Every structure is written in C-alpha cells, then in structure tokens.
Structure 1
Amino acid sequence: MIAVIQRVSESAVKIDGVIKGQISLGLMVLLGIEDADTNEDIEWLSKKIVNLRIFPDENGVMNKNIQDAGGDILLISQFTLHASTKKGNRPSYIKAAKPDFAIPMYEKFILALEQELDKKIETGEFGADMKVSLVNDGPVTIIIDSKNRV
C-alpha cells in the first residue's frame, strides 16, 4: 500500500458536485492498493498514519500526532499511486489492484483507521470521479509505502 499523507487546514471531496467528505484540521490521505497487500499492511499503515507526529506543539515543533492535535482524516482511494512510468509516456497501472480485491481492502483500511483514531473518518467513493480540494498546511506531505517498512 502506498499512502500520500498531507497535513491540511481543510479538505473536501466532491462527487457530481456534491460534497461526499469534508474535514478541517487533519490529514488528507490518498491510498493506493496493490494485489500484494495484506491485512498486515493495513494494520501497520493505519497505525503509522495515526501516530505520525507531524502537527506542531506549543513551540511550533512537529511533535503531535493527529489525536493530540484533535484532527480528522479524509481518505481517498487512488490507484494511480501505483503508476509505472518506466516505459513510454503513458503510465501503466498493472500493479494497482483490481476492484474485486481493492474495494474490500479499502473498506478494511477505513475500519482500521477508525479503530486507531477512535472516531469515524471521512472518505471519498472507490472508483468514482472525485474532485478533491485541500489547503496543505505547512506544506507537509509524507509518502509511505508499506512494502518499505523494514
């Protein structure tokens, strides 16, 4: 699994012009799923995201996690994170999981994040044409690949 995590002061996702998910202070997370992903990847990555200390403390040092900061999470599925650009100019998405595998993994990831965060998270809709907006705070953007954890 690949996650692009952005600390935001606000973020929203619209589908057909209607807001599906919206947060103020928190993390907007783009998630790419591949066939090699397992429940272990879900558990490790969800814990890593919730415990990342990327929010400022009273001294302005990034020392607080999302729970300490009182923030929320907006999770968006994004298969294009697994794009291969080695050959030619048209990316290949062969590594990205097909919906029959990716949707259940995405749903498990939502539940894992909610359990770790101890509250409901906001989401997009798997496979939908989504319009995502955000104000990146900092800016702070972190990329984590669960296959590079060792």
Structure 2
Amino acid sequence: MELTVYLAGEIHSDWREQLKSKAAESGLPLTFVGPQENHDLSDAIGEKIIGSQPNNVTRDDAASGINNLRTQVLMQKADLVIALFGEKYKQWNTAMDASMALTLNKPLILIRPESLVHPLKELSNRANVTVETVDQALDVLHYIYQ
C-alpha cells in the first residue's frame, strides 16, 4: 500500500528533504507532495499568470489564491498530512494547512518543538499525533506499515 503524504510547514529549512531521504532509505512506500518550495515563484505566481498588479496587497492576494488552490488540490489527494512548526519563522501557513487538513478530515501528524507546546495546545489536541521531531514523525509512518 502506497500512501501520499502532504508535507506542510515552513519552507526555509531542509526538514522535508530529511524526511524524504530517511523514508526512502528505510523503503517506506510513500509519495510526498507539499507547498511550492520556491519562495520567489510562490510570491510571484499571481502576476506570472494574471499579469502585473498595482501594489503589493493585490500582488499577494493574486498569489495566495493560486497557492491556496494548489494546496487544496494536493491535500485532498493526500492520505495523510504532516505539519511542521519551526521556531524561527512565523508559522501562519503551517497553521492554515493544519486547519485545512482537519477540515478535510485528513489524518494529521503535528511536529512542534517543546517551546511551542502552549501556543499550539488546541491544534495539538485536534491532531491525530503530535511529536517533537521529524524522526518521531517518521517512526509513526513506520508504525502504519507494521
């Protein structure tokens, strides 16, 4: 049984590559999808498709509509969502993606450091599993196949 896993969360670290690499090394039959990781393309996609915008607000609005559509399509096709909250950046997109996963009734593994236990307590309570590291999330994936 092959599962499709949507990897939601911050795009500034290599956590996705770490998880994908470790999953491949261990032979897990997984396909990974996720947000557009090319930050410049993600920010510019609205103007690239519908043309120049008069200001940054409408530029962001045009891009967010297309990015939200992409996220929704890929997440609906996913069997499972892993959402990582890091400590370094504001995590608005991660919160939105985790909320969308719950709305779509997708199983959710939430990765968050100990320092974010309090601010993420309600979301952690709604996730199927909450862990602190990528390796722990990978252990959960392994368990599905045991």
TM-score above 0.5, yes or no = no
Instruction: Return the structure number with greater strand share.
Output: 1
**Which protein has greater RCO, CA pairs closer than 8 Å, 6+ apart?**
1
TM-score (norm 2): 0.27
